[in-house]
Amino acid sequence: PARYRTVHLQRAKDEGRRFAMLTAYDFQMAQVFDEAGLEVVLVGDSAANTMMGLSTTLPMTLEQIAVYAASVVRGTRHALVLSDMPFGTYEVSPQQATENAIRLVKETGVAGVKIEGGERFAEHVRMLTDAGVPVMGHIGFTPQSENVLGGYRIQGREEGAAERMIREATVLQEAGAFAVLMEMVPSDIARQVDEALRVPTVGIGAGPHTTGQVLVWQDMLGLRAGKMPRFVKRYADLRTVVSDAVTEYRRDVLEGTFPAAEHGFDS
Ligand code: KIV
Ligand code: NA
């Protein structure tokens, strides 16, 4: 299609097809993803980690994510672009959520937002959707609540977890959410949630049964240093590619082999 919309994700679920989503934060990377045919791009508040070097997503502001979101929208022609609502921009009330989401849509051109949390945000989802802002829910591990959840850990291992997650997801759906993302949820529970929902699901660390999958691009392209979470598959080793290129460039500069004659201008 000219531009993917939420209806196309719904159609994928209805027809038993999948879709792929990655985070993006800047113009050129978004352009590459878009040209590769990626259906959905998420301007994640993981930018706090990947772009700003913060250890949590909590400090990110609406103004900051708006810069990333506007850049990503300018880099895409076909992908559906969604933006996270940062911590502190939606929780207080449906009104707060709606006012801030409308600002994001007006200032950046994103087609929808994602908010973390289940049932307790049903009224937020309802008001956002009624106002014309499509909402993707996000349950399971929700990084903005890491101080309540007791750190970075898999969710849904307690007694009755499947029923609870199905209820959370269903309430979001009934409130108008066009999709529900699950992060770090046992594969079997994610499958049950996907089967219980009419709307598509998206997984990260949630197994193979969700309608769509999402990863943080610096993880899957191997730019990030250090140990990767179990759910990440590395499709490239950009850290080595970039490091080798910069090492070679520096050596050329120090040895005087760059710039060569063809890189200079005649008088
Ligand atoms: O911010 C983010 O990267 C996310 C993940 C679920 C992909 O929300
Ligand atoms: Na996020």
- The pLDDT of residue 1: 64
Closest CA to 201 of 170, 179, 178: 179
Report whether pLDDT(194) > 90: yes
CA 45 – ligand 1 centroid, Å: 7
Least confident of 146-155, 167-176, 237-246: 146-155
Task: Map out the domains of the chain as residue ranges.
Answer: 6-236
Is 45 labeled as ligand-binding? Answer: yes
pLDDT of the residue at 181 = 98
pLDDT at 223: 98
* Cα–Cα nearest to 2, from 55, 78, 73: 78
Question: What confidence tier does 153 reach under pLDDT thresholds 50, 70, 90?
Answer: confident
| Ligand 1 pocket, residue 116 CB under 6 Å | no
d(CA 176, CA 136): 9
User: Bridge partners of 81?
Assistant: 41
For helices 94-108 and 122-130, angle between their N-to-C axes, nearest 10 degrees: 40
Arithmetic mean of pLDDT over the chain:
97
Q: Is 114 annotated as a binding residue?
A: yes
- 6-236 belongs to which homologous superfamily? Phosphoenolpyruvate-binding domains (3.20.20.60)
What distance in angstroms lies between residue 22's CA and the mean position of ligand 2's atoms?
11
Q: Which residues contact 251 (CB under 8 A, 6 or more apart)?
A: none
Confidence of residue 152 (pLDDT cuts 50, 70, 90): confident
Residue 116 marked as a ligand binder: yes
Name beta bridge partners: 115.
Answer: 137
Question: Nearest residue CA, atom 5 of ligand 1?
Answer: 44
Indicate which residue's Cα is closest to atom 2 of ligand 1.
44
Lowest mean pLDDT among 54-63, 73-82, 143-152, 233-242: 143-152
Q: Nearest bound ligand to CA 43?
A: 1
Residue 170 is predicted with a pLDDT of: 98
Where in the sequence numbering do the catalytic residues fall? 183
Residue 190 has pLDDT above 70, yes or no: yes
pLDDT for residue 115 is more than 80? yes
Atom from ligand 1 closest to the CA of residue 214: 7
Indicate which ligand has the atom closest to the C-alpha of 181: 1
The residue-averaged pLDDT of 12-39 equals 98
Instruction: Give me the percent of the chain exceeding a pLDDT of 70.
Output: 100
Here the tokens at position 114 are: 């994602």
User: Ligand 1: distance of its center to the CA of 137 in Å?
Assistant: 12
Check pocket membership of 71 for ligand 1, CB cut-off 6 A.
Answer: no
Report the atom number in ligand 1 closest to the C-alpha of 57.
1
Using the atom order of ligand 1, give the atom closest to the CA of residue 114. 8
Q: What is the 3-state secondary structure (H, E, C) of the chain?
A: CCCCCHHHHHHHHHCCCCEEEEECCCHHHHHHHHHCCCCEEEECCCHHHHCCCCCCCCCCCHHHHHHHHHHHHHHCCCCEEEEECCCCCCCCCHHHHHHHHHHHHHHHCCCEEEEEECHHHHHHHHHHHHCCCCEEEEEECCHHHHHHHCCCCCCCCCCCHHHHHHHHHHHHHHHCCCEEEEECCCHHHHHHHHHHCCCCEEEECCCCCCCEEEECHHHHCCCCCCCCCCCCCCCCCHHHHHHHHHHHHHHHHHHCCCCCHHHCCCC
- pLDDT above 90 coverage of the chain, percent: 96
Contact of 48 with 239, CB cutoff 8 Å: no
How far, in Å, from the CA of 7 to the mean position of ligand 1?
A: 21
26 is in an annotated binding site: no
pLDDT at residue 150 tops 90:
no
Is residue 46 part of an annotated ligand binding site?
yes
CA–centroid distance, 188 to ligand 1, in Å, is 21
Specify the residue with its C-alpha closest to ligand 1, atom 1: 44
